[in-house]
Chain A
């Protein structure tokens, strides 16, 4: 595997040449410091670009072309990493060595057409496409409510960080009405002009050919810089934990707990916290799994997730409503255990082994590999080899120390009214 980074000023091209895979993956990321007001229009843009292009003016024609390219897969993704919003387009194609010569160039051109030759008339997005996508967008915004696990996490984050970026939704209904064909196109031009662009290509491909095709077609020509820091920093801990219970017709109550992390060192952020989260709420050996599920039979799933760029730790579980106090008490007890250093050597070893195994798996998956290079670019994280070396340095003492910098902030419960009712 050979990684090369080509800085063309207005965009960076990252090529990971490897013979490991039979497919070629391409991810294009547009990145900027984001505001909450901008979420809806950014999501709208992600959908409209994949609805039609100048060359393929309907979604059906665009989809047929993807099929002709041997079932090329392409999808947009709207992500947020810390203070930055990432609009990305992810493409996976079968390497032409297994299909027909010429397919690689055609597939790259297909992607570049979608990004840079949109279906635009008189400086406005095509009306028909616009109206179709507008309805899709509204459905997708409403959909957040229909996935109860995710919904509970978003609701917890909204309670934790009312005005901030933590609860990042796909969009807001009240903002949809302000978007029209013309201002959406203006926003598109602004993205092209000012977003930082990273293009990743991974597979058994010709580096020079790839550079040539992309350079020829890409109309980017402004040099860009993002000044705002990427990582979200919390000012201070809440004095009293915020507790919120909301009633909806769910069959299983969802409990989500948010913790804030303040003043961590670089080593703590990169290495101690992943181990902390693994021991606390990772795989089957973790403290929460052992006590909440295996000893007390309170839940089927309970886990914790550490989000680096947000400096938060989220714990989620599905429980019976009446077990809420008991479960919360148990989570607190395990946090106390971490703080007191009631951690065994085996737990630390297991957590490190899990971390190493996850990182070795990354190298077997194209998308995960690209994401790793992205985090190296964005967050200045170490490469996989260094990570596997450094993780071994984490000690029980480190874990005890970092526990003091973690505080429970918000506890959220989504519950139904008739928990004990049997059908």
Chain B
């Protein structure tokens, strides 16, 4: 087990990798009541084309299957539902699926060893029957319909759908109702056997616990199981730099119009560490459109924006897609202003220095809450392959104006997708 001191924030990270490839990341915090444990597979909605483990031919499975699988893991052979087990020990239990990963979690203050054993065990033993697969379809259908009424999801999903030609980020995590209706227990088993191998998974533990106890429990749990790593073959797609559709108008029963802009930025030819590149790109959009930007002040005064835009991103090895979400009364005028701002980015370098100086702030805040910290570690591993606080710190320190200016010159911000949700005309 490796012990890594995070001196600047007085925390310690423990790391271990088992023979079967499973990685364990731990940050103990002695002064909290709870422990937050997540068990993650690097398998999400975008991994729908692959060569199944121990087979030769590649397959394509329906969209939404990773999320379906997550639901079905809660079904157990002995009939004891994980929800009931964790309720009996007073722990919270949940799971979530995103584009690149599926995570199972519990959070509680007692029975840590039993809870951890139970987690590894239920995620390790799937139980699919035709009947329980059918039963789940009604529940997931309602989950999808629930998201259909949340405009933020509609905006993001439509931006991705119109920005990508082939990359599976095109499709929403849960899939469509039609997608899930076609899913079978055989397909679920195929995905499970390929992606739920320990060498494709990792554990993150944050809160009040002893790292050695965690390692012991995990090792014991896997002692009787296979000890070798598995190689997973994903099929990669070649995604063009262009977008699919520049403008989409959707009508929903809302009062205030919503606007979503997606900027698809090619990154294949940019020679920079992907982590650093992501930080610079988000910094750029914050400078151009964030709450302290001249742009926001002007748009607010001209009655084109009420709140600052919500900025978020996703990336593949070929592109970063930055999405800007907002409400506006005049989408045409705002759209022109956004285009102007992107075509001719004016950066105030005093702002750059100020923002750079405080980038460590959010890092410190992360350590405040064992849930946020745990999610942050998962995201780092999923995005960049590892979690290394000291590296992030030196990376933030190394940001500089010259590198930033050079990068901006190289970025192509011209590929834009617009989605407008307007109130239904009655």
Contact = CB atoms under 8 A, between A and B. Distances in A.
Interface string B229-254: 00000000000000000000001111
Interface stretch (A55-63, A162-170, A262-270): A55-63
B368 A22 contact: yes
A90 interface: no
Interface string B356-372: 00100110110111100
Given A249-B424, A363-B33, A143 B255 contact: yes
A396 interface: no
Contact of B178 (A148, A319, A361, A422): A422
Contacts of A172: none
A175 interface: no
Contact of A68 (B93, B148, B303, B354): B354
Given A98-B364, A145-B254, A318-B145, A293 B33 contact: no
B92 A283 contact: yes
Nearest to B89: A353
A154 to B, nearest CB: 13
B93 A284 contact: yes
B56 interface: no
Contacts, number: 160
Interface stretch (A113-121, A132-140, A185-193, A331-339): A132-140
B139 A423 contact: no
A289 to B, nearest CB: 8
Given A132-B300, A139-B327, A252-B145, A353 B138 contact: no
Interface residues of B, number: 67
A371 interface: no
Contacts of A20: 31-32
Interface in A86-145: 92, 94, 98-99, 132, 135-136, 139-140, 142-143, 145
Contact of A251 (B87, B138, B148, B424): B148
Interface string A343-386: 00010011011101100110111100000000000000000000
A285 B327 contact: no
B140 interface: yes
B149 A250 contact: yes
B19 interface: no
Contact of B292 (A63, A98, A289): A63
B84 interface: yes
Interface in B203-253: 251-253
B306 A357 contact: no
B148 A252 contact: yes
Interface of B: 9, 31-34, 81, 83-84, 86-93, 107-109, 135-140, 142-143, 145-146, 148-151, 176-178, 251-256, 258, 291-294, 296-297, 300-301, 303, 306-307, 327, 354-355, 358, 361-362, 364-365, 367-370, 424
Given A94-B361, A350-B87, 15 more contacts: A59-B300, A71-B358, A132-B300, A132-B301, A139-B256, A145-B254, A147-B150, A252-B149, A299-B139, A300-B146, A318-B145, A346-B88, A354-B87, A360-B109, A423-B176
The list of the 8 closest CB pairs from A to B, nearest first, reads: A284-B83, A353-B90, A297-B138, A252-B145, A249-B253, A251-B148, A300-B142, A71-B361
